[in-house]
Amino acid sequence: MDKETLLTFLLNTNLVSLSSAQGIAQQFSHKAIPKNQFHLAAGKISDQYLFLEKGYMRTFAHDTEGNEVTTGFCSPGQIILEISSFFSRTRSKENIQALTDCEGWYITYEQLNQLFHALPEFREFGRWVLVKGFSELKNRMLFMITETAEERYVHLLKNNPEIFQQAPLKNIASYLGITDTSLSRIRKEFSKK
């Protein structure tokens, strides 16, 4: 497996030159994560900055009653990490699990910091990834507050339709903040429109 997709991802940000992107990509190592395997388990420190090339993952935590609550879905072409644990070097409260067989490229926390110090272009890339992630998190928080369950469903369906083929409906319902029964009702009503 070559690093062409990773290289394209780096270049498409328009923040790194071809020579820098090639040097950065060389620092990444291949990782395969079989379906249902954890990329990160709660209680561990996130140490891998992963570019997901193939497959789908989900992030989830357990609520105070021990129920799984899906906090996010990860698709090909995304950077995957539990940001708080990764940068603060603390134990994660969140899990990252493969929904399908996954493959990607990763560097460790130590390697990432070496690249940040050595390449100003990579620092700009890193800042872009963080700002993009923060913006998505803020939007998700606002969606959960300001949109109805039906609107959240439509938003997910329009922006991430592949998730409905890759994730169990119970995970999607949890992500939308609704019960499985409510999701079934919404899907049934939406299919009639």
- Indicate the pLDDT class of residue 192, thresholds 50, 70 and 90: confident
Token pair for 162: 């592949």
Cα–Cα distance, 54 to 183 (Å, whole number): 27
Which residue from 9, 137, 19 is spatially nearest to 79, judged by alpha carbons? 9
pTM to 2 decimals? 0.91
Residues 94-146 pLDDT 10s: 999 999 999 999 999 999 999 999 999 999 999 999 899 899 999 999 999 99
Residue 147 is given by DSSP the state S
Report, as an integer, the average pLDDT of 141-163: 93
> CA torsion 8→13→19→25, rounded to 10°?
-50
pLDDT over 80 at 1, yes or no = no
36, 60, 91, 141, 185 from 174: Cα distances, Å: 17, 9, 23, 14, 15
Confidence of residue 2 (pLDDT cuts 50, 70, 90): confident
CB contact at 8 A, 40 and 94? yes
> What is the b/e burial string over 38-60, where b = at least 16 CB atoms within 10 angstroms of the residue's CB?
ebbebeeebbbbbbbbebbbbbb
Q: Among 3-12, 45-54, 73-82, 184-193, which stretch is predicted with the lowest mean pLDDT?
A: 184-193
Write the pLDDT tens digit of every residue in 18-77: 999 999 999 999 999 999 999 999 999 999 999 999 999 999 999 999 999 999 999 999
Residue 191 has a pLDDT of 80
